[in-house]
Amino acid sequence: MLLIREFCSPHDTDGLPLFAGAAGLPTEPDDLYKPLGLSTDRGRAILAPGLRALAAAAMIGAGIGALTFLAGEADHAGEPFATASIEAATPADSGTSSGAEGADKTENGEPATTRATGAEVEADSGVSVVRPEGASTPDAMVIRIPDALGAKLAAAPDPRLVERSDFGPLPRIGPDGARPAQVYARPAPSPAKGRPRIAVVIGGLGLNDQTTARAITKLPGEMSLAFAPYGTNLKAQAAKAREAGHEILLQMPMEPFDDAQNNPGPQTLTTDASGPRNLERLHWALARAPGFVGIENFLGARFTADEAALSPVLKDLAGRGLIFIDDGSSARSIISIVGPSLNLPVRRADMVIDAVPDGAKIDEALQRLETMARETGLASASGSALPVTLEHLSHWADGLAGRGIDLVPVTSTVKLKGRS
């Protein structure tokens, strides 16, 4: 944890230089006096005596200063130093638009550089800033450094795990048996004996840059993140998530029962589509970014209850060395039954923490999750990247280890076969 205070830049006051030294003065008038109507003789008669005296005094002062410095009487002897007055910077006019006509210019006439807001800097830097309630940017702040420093994920894509296709590179099991679910997973320490564990997957990422950046920086790296395939900047966002220590999943749109009211999008897996057609949609989505450890469903109550439609998809995922995370939103889902029969590692979330997107309800769900973890040794949950979810989930996670529970990536909760 780092504590950072912001200070204003030093300014000279009243036009005074930060430091000054003795300098010689001209003893003869120059062209400066001509526009004023002063003749050369007049300038010489008036200025010469005073200038000579001032120059002599300056030379004497410089000599005394040099002797004093060499004698070691200066506090900063041997080091260059300057004395300056530091004043608080004047706040910028909040009503001024940086892009408006007549924006400030530099002394050379060039447009002044636009300064990013604190929120923009935080989002771009990958650093989460937590301030006291009501505090503004200049105040002291606590900063959480992205967790990538503590758990470095393997680079993606790994050449061993790439299959060329018409849609782009797809994940596959490598010739040496390496599997994407293992290679791209977040490293997790061996579970401590008797210590309960919790895994959390947060979905809904990749569609909004600010929401995605907030989830990446606000949530600890042990939480796995699921990305929708439709984002225009998906590769860059997925890479940032992995750099921050989060393992990532593809949140695949699947047919719900009320698709007229909740349409998951054009690449949705549906029960009336043929097996090859659904696989084309799946492969299109998998090729959108490298580094996925597996799939999480987005909606899909109808699709995940239909074995005929579901089986070809789960078989394809198993053959690619991926995992499947059932978000637990549908009681009719048969993924936990069909997946293992096809050698696909599956984990079903025990609860959706923000099924009711209310802060108090989310806190209650997280308390139930802790209780379940203590009773069974392992519990898992899913959620969406809503602002209220991120806020309460981040606060809850900060004290979890102190309450005797370990937060773990979701890949550590399933049995993975093969080599990494």
| 234: CB partners within 8 A, 6+ apart | 206, 227, 288, 289
Query: What domains, with CATH codes, occur in the chain?
Result: 1-17+119-145 (no CATH), 20-81 (no CATH), 148-413 (3.20.20.370)
Q: Do residues 301 and 332 lie in contact, with contact meaning Cβ atoms separated by under 8 Å?
A: yes
End-to-end CA distance of the chain, in Å? 32
| 260: CB partners within 8 A, 6+ apart | none
Distance from C-alpha of 274 to C-alpha of 17, rounded to nearest angstrom:
79
In tens digits, the chain (420 residues) has pLDDT values of 433 333 333 344 344 333 334 344 444 444 444 444 444 444 443 444 444 544 444 454 544 444 344 344 444 444 444 444 444 444 444 343 333 334 444 444 444 444 455 555 555 555 555 554 555 555 434 344 444 345 789 999 999 999 999 999 999 999 999 999 999 999 988 878 889 999 999 999 999 999 999 999 999 999 999 999 999 999 999 999 999 999 999 999 999 998 778 889 999 999 999 999 999 999 999 999 999 999 999 999 999 999 999 999 999 999 999 999 999 999 999 999 999 999 999 999 999 999 999 999 999 999 999 999 999 999 999 999 999 999 999 999 999 999 999 999 999 999 876 555
Q: Do residues 324 and 295 lie in contact, with contact meaning Cβ atoms separated by under 8 Å?
A: yes
Distance from C-alpha of 196 to C-alpha of 344, rounded to nearest angstrom:
25
User: Which bin fits 177, alpha (ψ -120 to 50), beta or left (φ > 0)?
Assistant: left
- Can you tell me whether residue 165 is helix, strand or coil? coil
From the number of C-beta atoms within 10 Å of its C-beta (0-12, 13-18, 19+), residue 278 rates as buried
> Could you give the dihedral angle defined by the CA atoms of residues 140, 215, 148 and 116, in that order, rounded to the nearest 10 degrees?
-50
Q: What confidence score (pLDDT) does residue 262 get?
A: 84
Residue 52 one-letter amino acid = R
| 183: CB partners within 8 A, 6+ apart | 154, 158, 160, 161, 420
